[in-house]
């Protein structure tokens, strides 16, 4: 059977990029701008992924999603998010951020450090995009449900098998293949299901789990993407 125009993610991306905003429409009716700040633990892996989402934004809205790759961990990521949020709030010219997210991993850090980072974020109005153990769990959930508490390095082997080539951090090809072959909305459902299975546990005890899906849901809503 021949593929329709929207059979692949690349087709959808090409279609969205070809659309332009009509100059005849009043600016206020085009869309409601929202400003997102995403502060990431990694300098490359997470920023590459979230930067890919910006491809769905028209050029005049690119500045509404800001991504910072901090190259730091847990509590320091949350503190950076707070600092950036406060600086933006104090700026008399730039619009305030509507949502500020801290994206960080449990990795091998002590349980209390991870738990305290999640708590610090909640107390300061920073949204939690953490993963236990690693961000790659979110990638794995695009292909399969995983509730076994395996070491994060095992995620790499699973992704290598699913992607059809060796998984490498900081590789844009991984993100491109993820969007082409993976299932974003199914990943959201499976990540939410993992969360339910850890009800009542501390963040460090909720292993494996990821809150990245909550951020992705917000991006899907903001970008009005219904076909992925």
Block residue for tokens 């300098």: 43
Mean local confidence (pLDDT), 37-49: 95
Using alpha carbons, list the distances in angstroms from residue 146 to 90, 93, 120, 197.
43, 45, 28, 12
Residue 10: pLDDT band (50, 70, 90) is: low
pLDDT-based confidence at 228, cuts 50/70/90? low
Length reported for the chain: 228
Torsion angle of the four alpha carbons 194, 195, 200, 205, in this order, in degrees rounded to the nearest 10: 70
pLDDT (0 to 100) of residue 172:
95
Stated pTM of the model: 0.85
Model confidence band, residue 210 (pLDDT cutoffs 50, 70, 90): very high
Whether the CB-CB separation of 141 and 191 falls below 8 Å is answered with yes
Long-range (24+ apart) CB contacts under 8 A made by 182-189 are 182/139, 182/142, 182/143, 183/142, 183/143, 184/142, 184/216, 184/220, 184/228, 185/220, 185/228, 186/141, 186/142, 187/138, 187/141, 187/142, 187/213, 187/216, 188/213, 188/216, 188/217
- Least confident piece of the model among 58-67, 93-102, 130-139: 58-67
CB 137 within 8 A of CB 146: yes
Q: What average pLDDT score do residues 183-188 get?
A: 96
H/E stretch holding 102: strand 99-103
Can you tell me the distance from the alpha carbon of 183 to that of 176, in angstroms, rounded to the nearest whole number? 12
Q: What is the mean pLDDT of residues 166-194?
A: 95
DSSP single-letter state for residue 41 = S
- Residue 26 is predicted with a pLDDT of 34
User: Among 20-24, 106-110, 169-173, where is mean pLDDT lowest?
Assistant: 20-24
| Mean pLDDT on 9-20 | 50
Rounded to an integer, the average pLDDT of 75-83 is: 97
pLDDT reported for residue 28:
32
pLDDT for residue 223: 87
- Can you tell me the mean pLDDT for 28-34? 58
Asked if pLDDT for residue 196 goes beyond 90, the answer is yes
DSSP 3-state of 151: coil
CB 112 within 8 A of CB 84: no
Which tokens go with 157? Answer: 């082997």
Neighbours of 101 (CB within 10 A): 26
Residue 99 has pLDDT above 80, yes or no: yes
Alpha-helical segments (H) within 102-152 = 111-123, 136-140
pLDDT of res. 227: 64
């Amino acid at each position: 059977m021949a593929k329709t125009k929207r059979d692949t993610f690349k087709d959808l991306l090409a279609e969205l990029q070809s659309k332009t905003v009509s100059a005849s429409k009043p600016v206020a009716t085009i869309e409601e701008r929202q400003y997102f700040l995403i502060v990431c633990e990694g300098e490359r892996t997470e920023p590459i992924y979230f930067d890919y989402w910006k491809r769905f934004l028209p050029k005049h809205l690119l500045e509404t999603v800001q991504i910072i790759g901090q190259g730091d961990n847990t509590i320091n990521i949350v503190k950076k998010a707070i600092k950036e949020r406060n600086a933006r709030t104090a700026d008399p010219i730039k619009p305030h951020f509507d949502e500020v997210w801290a994206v960080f991993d449990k990795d091998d850090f002590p349980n209390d450090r991870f738990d305290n980072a999640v708590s610090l974020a909640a107390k300061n109005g920073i949204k939690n995009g953490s993963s236990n153990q690693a961000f790659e769990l979110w990638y794995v959930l695009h292909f399969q449900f995983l509730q076994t508490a395996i070491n994060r390095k095992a995620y790499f082997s699973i992704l290598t098998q699913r992607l059809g080539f060796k998984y490498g951090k900081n590789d844009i090809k991984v993100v491109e293949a993820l969007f082409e072959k993976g299932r974003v909305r199914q990943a959201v459902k499976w990540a939410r299901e993992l969360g339910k299975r850890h009800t009542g546990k501390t963040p460090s005890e909720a292993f494996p789990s990821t809150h990245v899906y909550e951020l992705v849901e917000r991006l899907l809503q903001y970008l009005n993407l219904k076909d992925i």
